[in-house]
Homo-oligomer: A and B are copies of this chain.
């Protein structure tokens, strides 16, 4: 299982291309190589999954029945904003314009390694969420999540 970490800022060129950080590339599972799925995240940022990790998600999706109303809605709106893509020969990612617009990315993108996936932010949006999180409240949060309470049990394993 890959584990992405670190923060990397790169410029996005006129064609919507961003260099994929070398350190993250080294953390990739070789057999997922260069293939990703990019989609809208839960904050105004994008999530980038390497192929092998995305397959876990697909497995979950394939268990959803497309003939129920809820199933249809979930699948449509989840997959709608997702795209498969891969690195070019210069190890760059082409960002689809609709995803760039949605995440307000323009000129600069920040990659954040976040375990099994990578988040891509615009500097402005990242600043915003950062300014809403003081160091003290981060400490509290950290304690709640990482503290003594048994996470495996609380999260169903």
Contact = CB atoms under 8 A, between A and B. Distances in A.
Interface of A: 1, 3-7, 23, 27, 37, 40, 42-43, 57-58, 60-69, 71-84, 98, 112-117, 119, 133, 138-139, 141-142, 144-146, 148-149, 151-152, 155-157
Nearest to A79: B5
A112 B1 contact: no
Contacts of A155: 63-65, 68, 71, 148
How often does this chain occur in the complex, in copies? 2
B138 A23 contact: no
A8 to B, nearest CB: 10
A95 to B, nearest CB: 13
B73 A146 contact: no
A115 B156 contact: no
A113 B146 contact: no
A132 to B, nearest CB: 9
Nearest to A73: B141
